[in-house]
Structure 1
Amino acid sequence: MPTIPGGSSVADRAYHVQQVLARLGPGAHALSTIATEASLDDSTTSRILTAGVYRKVYGRPQRGMYQLARPLGDLAYALPNGPTRDEAQQALRGLRAATDGGLAFLYMKSPGLTAGRQCADMAVGDSDLVELGMTPRDVLSITRSLRTGASGRAILAYLPEVIQTHVLAEPVPDEAGPGVIRDGEQLAASLAEIRELGFALGYQECMKNWNSIAAPVFDGDSIAASVLLLRPAMQMQRAPAAYIEATKYAAATLSEN
């Protein structure tokens, strides 16, 4: 049986099964299919899925069939104390107005044990997202690595050390920008800096010619999301203090203390 990435603990297996379900795509999948893709036996996979159904991470539309509990785009508003869509839009539009038309996004931490992020909402005005190399469907449905980009690192900095270790061991995504942090020690140091300063900066980290500012959003004592501001590198070679404060303010308005 192939080795499970990251180890063989219960948490590792649960994390792996959720990654498999996300990779299999929308709709329900048979227990046997999930077990095969996860390189686990049916009994172990069944226990993980049953526990996930109880915690509403997975849905079971019929006997022996499992799927992610909600469409990815709806997960942002599933936290007990999380922001409503109206609150998110108000915060993002406010950030856009305060930063001379910057592109504003809300990235939620992926549910359960999955170490990723997904865009839940945005305020981009009339901007064509194709210029960012993505479509609205892509933005709202793709789970992206936490090791790449200011929005990912702003979440990763506040996650448990065991998850940080998993993420830092991941390869740099092929689509990463020229400014991506490749060195593991430098990446770890950036997380400590984010915790100290309360924000993250990205210089062409995810995409060429785009710089970014991100700030964490909390659900009580737990990290839930990050607010991201994107500006063309030619317009924002270095992040102005006013833009940093506006990004932190937007994140704070969406945080539940």
Structure 2
Amino acid sequence: MLVVQAFTLLPGADHGPSELAAATGLHITVVYRILQSGIATSIFLRVPPGRYRLGPGAAQVGMQAMAATLDAGVARPALEHLSRTVDGFALLWVLSPYGGPRKAYGTSAPGRYDFESLGLSVTDLIEVSHSLRVGASGRAIAAHLPPFLLSSILEQPLPAGAGPGTARTPAEFAASLDEIREAGYAVAREEVPGWSAVAAPVMWGDSVYGAVSVLKPSSLMSGDLALPVAATVATAERLNLLASGGTDPRSLAG
């Protein structure tokens, strides 16, 4: 398990036994035996010359774990409560690794809004919705990713539909992530044109699973964000508990 974890923490995809031994504190011969045993089950793949990467067996384990973590039907009552509390469009976004780190739609409680309300073309909606460079939810997720994944996010171009409030430079983006880690939530003003949002990360142990966000037209989002911030963070905390196998029936009932 230590060797698998090292692959998720070290920069790059391919690593040699000596590099993995240094990262895990295990003797190189132990690491080598673990790698060889994992090849048989496709947990690891051998990549010439003398290097290894995580294989399809590891991906299958990860997908199975993610699929059993937070069912949309379980999460939706919490989002409905958030939507009613803030009178906004509440969404759960899930971290997706495909094609580089991005977010995927989990489930939502739209309230009186829907995706058409955002006023984006289909292309812009898809690009903006999936990018971690844009929006409070994207930055709430990005703030909790390993450093080597952050660099790949910065290499992704900004979607054409990104609004004027989007952090345009790597320095601005990085500074916003520091603020999010400190505060525990993210705020977006006009990152989707005409809309403002608050988001908080949903954690699965020490790993980021996704983010909860609530959007409202900027003209209706008060300058005092105390209520949307408190409600969004509380919703994320409830989903953290559910992702970890706990239950919170009282807080999810309303």
**1:222-249 alpha-carbon deviations (Å, 9 max, x no partner):** 0011001001100015352011010001
Q: 2:55 aligns with which of 46, 51, 55?
A: 51
**What is the deviation of 1:175?**
1.3
Q: 1:195 aligns with which of 161, 168, 181?
A: 181
Q: 1:160 aligns with which of 143, 146, 150?
A: 146
Q: Does 2:106 align with 1:102?
A: no
5+ residue gaps, structure 1, are 1-7, 13-42, 59-74
Contact kept in structure 2, 1:213 and 1:228, CA below 8 Å:
yes
Aligned mates of 1:53, 1:203 — CA distance in 2: 41
Q: Does 2:215 align with 1:230?
A: yes
**What is the deviation of 1:79?**
1.7
TM-score normalised per structure 1 = 0.67
**What is the deviation of 1:208?**
0.8
Distance 1:150 1:234, change over 3 A: same
Aligned mates of 2:182, 2:237 — CA distance in 1: 16
Contact kept in structure 2, 1:104 and 1:122, CA below 8 Å:
yes
Which residue matches 1:131?
A: 117
Which residue matches 2:238?
A: 253
Q: Does 2:72 align with 1:85?
A: yes
Q: 1:79 aligns to what SS in structure 2? A: helix
Larger radius of gyration: 2
Which residue matches 1:120?
A: 106
Contact kept in structure 2, 1:217 and 1:225, CA below 8 Å:
yes
Aligned mates of 1:145, 1:209 — CA distance in 2: 18
Q: Percent identity?
A: 34
5+ residue gaps, structure 2, are 1-10, 16-46, 245-254
Which residue matches 2:156?
A: 170
Contact kept in structure 2, 1:119 and 1:141, CA below 8 Å:
no
Q: 1:105 aligns to what SS in structure 2? A: strand
Q: 2:219 aligns to what SS in structure 1? A: coil
Aligned mates of 1:214, 1:83 — CA distance in 2: 18
Contact kept in structure 2, 1:129 and 1:135, CA below 8 Å:
no
Which residue matches 1:212?
A: 197
- Give the root-mean-square deviation of aligned CA atoms: 3.4
Aligned mates of 1:11, 1:238 — CA distance in 2: 47
Contact kept in structure 1, 2:88 and 2:215, CA below 8 Å:
yes
**What is the deviation of 1:173?**
1.4
**1:79-106 alpha-carbon deviations (Å, 9 max, x no partner):** 266222222101100101111x210000
**What is the deviation of 1:114?**
3.0
1:56 partner amino acid: Q
Q: Which moved more, 1:232-241 or 1:222-231?
A: 232-241
Aligned mates of 1:142, 1:52 — CA distance in 2: 29
Contact kept in structure 2, 1:199 and 1:248, CA below 8 Å:
yes
Contact kept in structure 1, 2:12 and 2:148, CA below 8 Å:
no
Aligned length: 198
Q: Which moved more, 1:207-216 or 1:175-184?
A: 175-184
Distance 1:177 1:141, change over 3 A: closer
2:83 partner amino acid: R
**1:118-174 alpha-carbon deviations (Å, 9 max, x no partner):** 1110001343421214699x9799971211111000000000000111112322111
